[in-house]
Amino acid sequence: MDNGVLLHGLNSAQRDAVTSDVSVLQLLAPPGSGKTKTLTARVAYLVARKQLRPWNIIVCTFTVKAAKEMKERIRGFVGDELAKQLKLGTFHSIALRYLKQYGHHIGLDKDFGIADTNDSKAIIKRIIKQNDLSIEAGQARARISAQKSKGIDSEQFLKTVKSVEQHDFAQVYLGYEQALKASNLLDYDDLLLRCSFLLRTHTQCVSNVEALLIDEFQDTNNVQYDLMSLFAQHRNVITIVGDPDQSIYGFRNAEIKNLSRMKSQWPDTLTINLEENYRSSGAILHAAQHIIEQDESRPPKKLQATHSLGMRPVLRKLPSAEAEAGWLVSEIQRIRALTGNLLRLSDFAVLLRSAALSRAIESAMGKAGVPYRMVGGNRFYDRIEVKLLVDYLRVIHQTGDNEALERIVNMPARRVGPETVRALREQAVSEGTSVWQVVLDSVQCRRRPITKLTEPTRKGLAIFVDIVLTGQKKAYDEGTARASLVDLVNFLLKKLLFQDWLKKKYPDDHEVRWQNVEELIAQASDASDPERLQAMLDQNALPEIDGLEQRTASSLGDTLSLFLSNISLASSSEAKAEEEGENVEQVTISTIHAAKGLEWPVVFIPACYDGSIPHSRAEDNDEERRLLYVGMTRAQASLYLSCPIKNTRREETALSTFLLQPGVSAFFEEHGPTVEPSAVAGLAVTLRRDCPALKVVEEAKSSIKRDEDNYWPLNGEFPPEELAKWDHSKDSATVPAAVFSTASITLQ
Ligand code: ATP
Ligand code: MG
């Protein structure tokens, strides 16, 4: 492949970055300037031109969605075979890969499970309750995570305790660590920390790494920085891209200082800047820049729009949160109608400062029958019926998984009340064994339980034990004739009389729930096929695991292990969005945090009031401003900010201070019509990304009637010089809005 194809559609600064031969490269540039695009092309360049072997290249993205998109694109350049071999994923998925492969060097059992956010919270809640402490579970979790990311474990923390409050927290931290250990679980922080420990003590694990590339570097924390240094320790070939103005994870201990730290660690670091924005219309960009420039400590930066001015962003006040939501939904419907439904629902996004704001919006969408997907909402694997079955699989896979076991030992109900569960757990702790062992021994009368079990309870436990043991036999006994994962799930459904249970317990929506079960069966069936299991792992950006094929072919136990790891990873918020159907016609509702790096033709940011953004609990106002900036710069052609005069608690609100600064209002349309037909026409064809540009134009032509007095530019032909600017590659067809917005077009 020649450089022409690789470098097609890149400007000269981007090309320089793609082909640079320096060892350490920083590409720092504002939103929409093509950082991710450039990074992607660089990976392809290293493979196709520099003949680096893809399995020796590590690429870290911030979200699972970004990883997927990047892999897709690289596939376009270098083909499926090579793209598949890259180690491309989030820091967590790459760490998981190394731990599964080499974890035995640091004494890790290869069957360790992953505690997702919900598991962690549940454990913490339980410890707080047991010890009768007055700590909020969510906060305790964030604090534990903060300590871990500083490399301070619970015992070290205990030694530094000075106040009663700290002592209480230390107790939670200690209990939490013990619970994870007892269940052979690692949480998300542990994945990074253990991997870091592994690579520090066993440097040979990364001796083959030839290049490391990282997107969204401004949001890395110290642990991730260490991992970066460790991945690169043998050759020091690193490319990072980032934007200090978009650093929005300070609250999760991201360190913006990592940029300068990198420069002092590698003094020869070359920095390249990009100055053109290819994403947003001029008007959106100006408004966003005006907001970020309120931060006076920030060095001024050049950023030029490449698109025409387009429509001014809209800023609206509505009487209530309900009215705001209703207005927003009707705008979506109106724009679609105006564009002859050329814009799809998936071209719209509603971005929120906090997930809790989604309720009003969801209900308005529900009322209007507008399908939507929640990024980070109640997701597939969090749905009770799915979680329950997955928990059974977890216990079958690893009886030491106390967390999962306690959730299912009485599900469906079999007379094992919370008191019994507590007693069993206490006995397990005091005897230094797993809850499963205590249950098993009690049932088999090998041990006297602390509380005497009633006969019905003992029977209930015996039923539970029988299910798990039979499941294990299916999964692990060499003698059993090749049971598949689907067989195992079906076995559970039958044993648990699951469908009847659902009907009884959820008379209103058991059918929907059963559909979820069927979906899980479909996934289990996918997992039974090595190729499709790999595709699933890919989807969650879990890099290929060596020797997968032999292992899946030979053992259901290994399939189960991979299947469960995959589920834990997929539970990370943004992965859910994927699985619920990226291509389905749905509006996206997401937090701004989870929308990082992404773009949509039309973006709404509701609830722009003080207390929401900036958030009342946020410590750093500048970070809140950057968050608004990140949200606004996701929009390509149309941006709506809004504020209810009264919030959902019926309290009067004040417009966000960021929008009340002198001069800001000049950038917004506060009263006039929200959409002008000509601009909408431009909008409709500007940013359709998933079909070739020309096809979009053809569609647009047929759905937009010419005004008698105003013709299509150049008599129905598009100017060749404009055509030349278009990127015809499959997934990024952009047609300059100017072509349309300069012509006056009436719509049918
Ligand atoms: P963010 O900071 O938000 O992550 P980014 O700098 O990573 O943004 P990209 O997502 O890579 O920006 O690019 C933004 C949009 O601009 C994409 O749709 C991309 O295809 C397009 N783009 C980037 N560079 C060019 C270019 N040289 N010509 C045309 N379009 C481009
Ligand atoms: Mg990006």
- C-beta separation of 664 from 291 below 8 A: yes
**Closest residue by Cα to residue 348 from 64, 575, 635:** 635
Q: What ranges in 444-570 are assigned the alpha helix state H?
A: 455-476, 485-495, 498-505, 510-527, 530-539, 548-554, 556-570
Among 258-272, 294-308, 394-408, name the one with the lowest average pLDDT: 294-308
- Asked if 16 and 98 sit in the same domain, the reply is yes
**Percent of the chain predicted with pLDDT > 90:** 43
- Asked if 267 and 295 sit in the same domain, the reply is no
Q: What share of the chain is helix, strand, coil (3-state, %, to 5)?
A: 55, 10, 35
Q: Assess whether the C-beta atom of 280 lies below 6 angstroms from ligand 1.
A: no
Those residues whose C-beta lies under 8 Å from the C-beta of residue 497, and which sit 6 or more positions away, are 412
- Asked if 296 and 423 sit in the same domain, the reply is no
- Asked if 360 and 416 sit in the same domain, the reply is no
Those residues whose C-beta lies under 8 Å from the C-beta of residue 502, and which sit 6 or more positions away, are 385, 510, 513, 514, 517
The token pair at 202 is 């066993």
- Asked if 106 and 119 sit in the same domain, the reply is no
* Position with higher pLDDT, 692 vs 406: 406
Nearest listed ligand to the Cα of residue 31:
1
Going by alpha carbons, the residue nearest to atom 28 of ligand 1 is 9
DSSP state of 346: G
Q: What's phi and psi for 448, nearest 5 deg?
A: -90, 120
Q: Assess whether the C-beta atom of 250 lies below 6 angstroms from ligand 1.
A: no
Q: Does 543 belong to an annotated binding site?
A: no
Residue 41, pLDDT > 50, answer yes
Among 451-465, 575-589, 603-617, name the one with the lowest average pLDDT: 575-589
Domain-terminating residue out of 255, 274, 293: 274
- C-beta separation of 160 from 68 below 8 A: no
Mean pLDDT, to the nearest integer, of 294-322?
A: 87
Domain-terminating residue out of 183, 202, 224: 183
> How far is the C-alpha of 620 from the C-alpha of 385, rounded, in Å?
40
Q: Assess whether the C-beta atom of 34 lies below 6 angstroms from ligand 1.
A: yes
**Closest residue by Cα to residue 479 from 555, 395, 547:** 555
Q: Assess whether the C-beta atom of 37 lies below 6 angstroms from ligand 1.
A: yes
45: domain range? Answer: 3-111+191-274
Whether 9 maps to a domain, the answer reads yes
**Number of domains present in the structure of the chain:** 4
pLDDT of residue 544: 39
Whether 544 maps to a domain, the answer reads no
Measured over the CA atoms of residue 532, residue 536, residue 539 and residue 542, the dihedral's sign is negative
User: Judging by beta carbons within 10 Å of its beta carbon (0-12, 13-18, 19+), is residue 403 exposed, middle or buried?
Assistant: buried
600: left (phi > 0), else alpha (psi -120 to 50), else beta?
beta
Work out the mean pLDDT of the chain and round it to a whole number.
81
Going by alpha carbons, the residue nearest to atom 21 of ligand 1 is 278
pLDDT-derived band at 696, boundaries 50, 70, 90: very low
Among 63-77, 373-387, 454-468, name the one with the lowest average pLDDT: 373-387
* Position with higher pLDDT, 309 vs 616: 616
pLDDT of residue 718: 42
Task: Write the CATH number for 447.
Answer: 1.10.486.10
Span 620-668, pLDDT tens digits: 899 999 999 999 999 988 899 999 998 876 789 999 999 999 889 888 8
Nearest listed ligand to the Cα of residue 632:
1
Over the Cα atoms of the chain, what is R_g? 27
The token pair at 524 is 């289990």
Measured over the CA atoms of residue 78, residue 82, residue 88 and residue 93, the dihedral's sign is positive
Whether 715 maps to a domain, the answer reads yes
Residue 318, pLDDT > 70, answer yes
Atom of ligand 1 nearest to the CA of 39: 11
Mean pLDDT, to the nearest integer, of 70-74?
A: 90
**Closest residue by Cα to residue 555 from 563, 544, 567:** 563
Task: Write the CATH number for 125.
Answer: 1.10.10
Q: Assess whether the C-beta atom of 573 lies below 6 angstroms from ligand 1.
A: no
- C-beta separation of 744 from 705 below 8 A: no
CA of 627 to the centre of ligand 2 (A): 15
Which pTM does this prediction carry? 0.73
**Percent of the chain predicted with pLDDT > 70:** 80
Q: What is the b/e burial string over 103-126, where b = at least 16 CB atoms within 10 angstroms of the residue's CB?
A: beeeebeebbbbbbbebbebbbbb
Residue 748, pLDDT > 70, answer no
Whether 547 maps to a domain, the answer reads no
Those residues whose C-beta lies under 8 Å from the C-beta of residue 747, and which sit 6 or more positions away, are 338, 339, 340, 677, 680, 681, 704, 705
Q: Assess whether the C-beta atom of 631 lies below 6 angstroms from ligand 1.
A: no
Query: Which one of 7, 10, 14, 37 would you pick to mutate in the ligand 1 pocket, going by the greatest count of ligand atoms within 8 A of its CB?
Result: 37
> How far is the C-alpha of 88 from the C-alpha of 75, rounded, in Å?
12
Going by alpha carbons, the residue nearest to atom 19 of ligand 1 is 34
- Asked if 659 and 513 sit in the same domain, the reply is no
- C-beta separation of 149 from 224 below 8 A: no
Whether 571 maps to a domain, the answer reads no
Q: What ranges in 183-257 are assigned the alpha helix state H?
A: 188-201, 222-231
Span 188-230, pLDDT tens digits: 899 999 999 999 999 999 999 999 999 999 999 889 999 999 9
- Asked if 154 and 234 sit in the same domain, the reply is no
- C-beta separation of 172 from 392 below 8 A: no
pLDDT of residue 68: 84
Whether 573 maps to a domain, the answer reads no
- Asked if 523 and 589 sit in the same domain, the reply is no
Residue 447, pLDDT > 80, answer no
Span 532-556, pLDDT tens digits: 666 666 544 443 343 333 334 357 7
- Asked if 386 and 473 sit in the same domain, the reply is yes
Q: Does 29 belong to an annotated binding site?
A: yes
pLDDT of residue 675: 57
Those residues whose C-beta lies under 8 Å from the C-beta of residue 253, and which sit 6 or more positions away, are 145, 146, 149, 150, 221, 222
Task: Write the CATH number for 295.
Answer: 3.40.50.300
Beta-bridge partners for 240: 26, 214
> How far is the C-alpha of 690 from the C-alpha of 346, rounded, in Å?
11
- Asked if 396 and 533 sit in the same domain, the reply is yes
- Asked if 527 and 599 sit in the same domain, the reply is no
Q: Does 35 belong to an annotated binding site?
A: yes
The token pair at 435 is 């809850």
Domain-terminating residue out of 274, 301, 325: 274
Whether 91 maps to a domain, the answer reads yes
Residue 734, pLDDT > 90, answer no
> How far is the C-alpha of 433 from the C-alpha of 178, rounded, in Å?
12
- Asked if 426 and 530 sit in the same domain, the reply is yes
The token pair at 356 is 């809790």
Whether 125 maps to a domain, the answer reads yes
CA of 605 to the centre of ligand 2 (A): 20
Alpha carbon 73 to its chain's center: 19
SS3 421: helix
